[in-house]
Each structure stands twice: as C-alpha cells, then as structure tokens.
Amino acid sequence: MTAVWGDGRDGGNPRWVVAELVADAARHRYPADVLAVGVHGSLAHGDDTDTSDVDMIVVTYRPGSGPRPVTRRVDGVLVDLSVIGADQYLQHARTLSTSWPLAADRYMTTKPIHDPDAWLEQLRDTHLSRLADARPAEFSTLAREAWCRAASAHARAIRLTQWYDTDTAMLMIGEARLSASMVVGLLSRTYFRNSADAVKRTGLAGADMTELGSVLRAQSDDLAARGRPVDATVGEFFE
C-alpha cells in the first residue's frame, strides 16, 4: 500500500508538501532501488511547527544503493534524509544498545509516504518482537553501561569546573544528563522522541552537578539491587 499522511498537497502542512516532493524525486530517480520512504520525528507525530525539520528515511533493497544521505533546505524547510538498506535496518531493529531509548521511536512511529509492501510495518513488528523476547537482565546490563558513561561525564564536568573551563564543563554535564536519562529509559523500557525529550521527561533537563550526582547515586543503588553493582573487580569484568 502507498500511504500519504497529512494531505500536504491539498494546501495543508507545507512540511508534508516538501516531504512528498522529496519522496517522489527519490522514487523517480532511483526506481529500482527504493523500497520505502517515510518520515519520523515531529512530522510523524503530528506536532510539528513552522520551525520543525523534516526527518526522512529512504529504505533501499540493497545497501549502498539509492540516493545518498543529505541535509539541505528545500523551500525554506530543513530536510534531513537518511538512507539505509532494508536488511541492515531490520538488523538495527533487532539490536538493543545503550541508545535504544533514542532509536526505538523511528522503528515504532515512522509514517509511510511510499510503502507499497507495508515494509515499515514489518520494521515495527520486528522491533516489537525483539522487545517481547528481551530479558530484564539485558536492559539492566545496558543501563549499567549508560550509567558508567554518565558518571564519567559528570566527574569530568566537576574537574573542568575546578579548572574554570566552564564552557567544556557545560558540554560534559549535558552528556551526563543524557546518559543518565538513558539509564531511566532502559530500566523502564521507555523510549524518547529525541535527546531534548529524554532529559525533559526524566526531569534531568535542568539538573545541576549536585542534583545529577544524587541521581547517579540513586541509580547506582537501583542497579546493584537488580543483580550487579556498577563497579566490578577484574575477575568480574568479563562476566
């Protein structure tokens, strides 16, 4: 089936107009390569604004075929076009990683512009099947890795502040907030729209270094209660 969401060409959302035009151009230039074209992000969720980007994905039959990934403005609208082979994208959907809370939204909510074989539904179902099979320990293990990244960034932010390198410290505290948000998302199996959504929904967007330190200590205790502490001996490192 081919689905067009938003009815952009009937004088509606101008971002849908641009998305549909880009999708049509990709299909006509690479007719033997393009399997599906969709949008994700705010346009797919239906809450885009005049300043929103258009996030698009082109799925190809073979890796390396079709258009190249590109980010450009089209008629005043910023379009971020990703391109990926179908098999590779399905493999991504079957893979859980520390960035799962930021990756899952694409698998779950991409809206089709061109999808005659309902391939994007297959992508969603593949990911849902993987989640159904996942054991709690898998998410706990990933959460420990995310916690270590958060703790490292937090420690670096403190040290940089002591050295009066405030600008770099702010970057590190941002990394620490995001990684701590990934811990929350992984332990609760919650996915987010993007990085800003992650820190906002977990209450970490405005956390200073002291507050974030308290959050990390609480997360460390929670992870230990789930079976393993965040710290390990050399003998435990590869377990």
pLDDT tens track for 23-48 = 999 999 999 999 999 999 999 999 99
Pairing state of beta strands 54-60 and 77-85?
parallel
- In angstroms, the CA 57 to CA 167 distance is 34
* 65 pLDDT higher than 60: yes
The pair of structure tokens assigned to 171 is: 């970057």
Helices (H) then strands (E): counts for the chain: 9, 5
Q: What share of the chain is helix, strand, coil (3-state, %, to 5)?
A: 55, 15, 30
pTM given for the model = 0.91
Spatial neighbors of 10 by CB under 8 A, at least 6 apart, are: none
Residue found by looking up tokens 């709690």 in the block:
136
